[in-house]
């Protein structure tokens, strides 16, 4: 059995820093969505840990739903072709939607997703991401309303983020060694 610690170049964001920032994001979102009909939409699978911790920091009545989209497959870069693998279970018409994403890289998947959801009649759509890599942004129309951390252009894993379905269970954000994904 391999130890995932041997696969990491470094720790970018430790557990304590993650939890502190998620608490702060929860406070911001709570203030902004007080009295609104909030639906958190987690983008599977990567956002699950972030969404789980974030929703505990939002003491409002809210709904959660999930979508699964793919543009990566088993690759380290987006193909640019987005497929919806799992759609929402509930209607978002006249709801205040907050898309909860693990990481925004090129922004192509999120741009497609936001446009798709906007045709369903929500009152508002905003974006919350744990990690943002603005240096890799291709979709210039993406505006992040709530951002946990801006990170450098490194391939990151942990806290829900994976490479080829591995490393999601790491309790912090680490940079994967280049030779493992190239």
Q: Is 105 annotated in the active site?
A: yes
State the DSSP code for 163: B
Contact 59, 30 (CB under 8 A): yes
Q: Which of 53, 96, 102, 105 is catalytic?
A: 105
Using DSSP's 3-state secondary structure scheme, residue 121 falls into coil
**Whether the bond into 12 is cis, omega within 30 of 0:** no
Q: What is the crossing angle of helices 15-33 and 48-55, to 10°? A: 60
Task: Provide the annotated active-site residues.
Answer: 105
């Amino acid at each position: 059995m391999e130890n995932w610690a041997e696969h990491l170049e470094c720790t970018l964001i430790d557990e304590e820093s993650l939890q502190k920032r998620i608490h702060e994001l929860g406070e911001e979102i709570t203030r902004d969505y007080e009295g609104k009909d909030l639906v958190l939409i987690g983008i599977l699978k990567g956002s699950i840990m972030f969404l789980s911790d974030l929703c505990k920091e939002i003491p409002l009545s809210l709904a959660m739903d999930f979508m699964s989209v793919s543009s990566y497959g088993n690759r380290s870069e987006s193909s640019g072709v987005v497929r919806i693998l799992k759609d929402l279970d509930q209607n978002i018409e006249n709801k205040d939607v907050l898309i909860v994403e693990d990481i925004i890289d090129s922004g192509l998947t999120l741009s497609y997703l936001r446009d798709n959801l906007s045709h369903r009649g929500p009152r508002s759509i905003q974006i919350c991401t744990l990690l943002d890599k603005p240096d890799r942004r291709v979709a210039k129309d993406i505006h992040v309303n709530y951002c946990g951390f801006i990170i450098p252009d490194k391939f990151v894993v942990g806290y829900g983020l994976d490479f080829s379905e591995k490393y999601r269970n790491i309790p912090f954000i680490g940079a994967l060694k280049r030779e493992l994904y190239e």
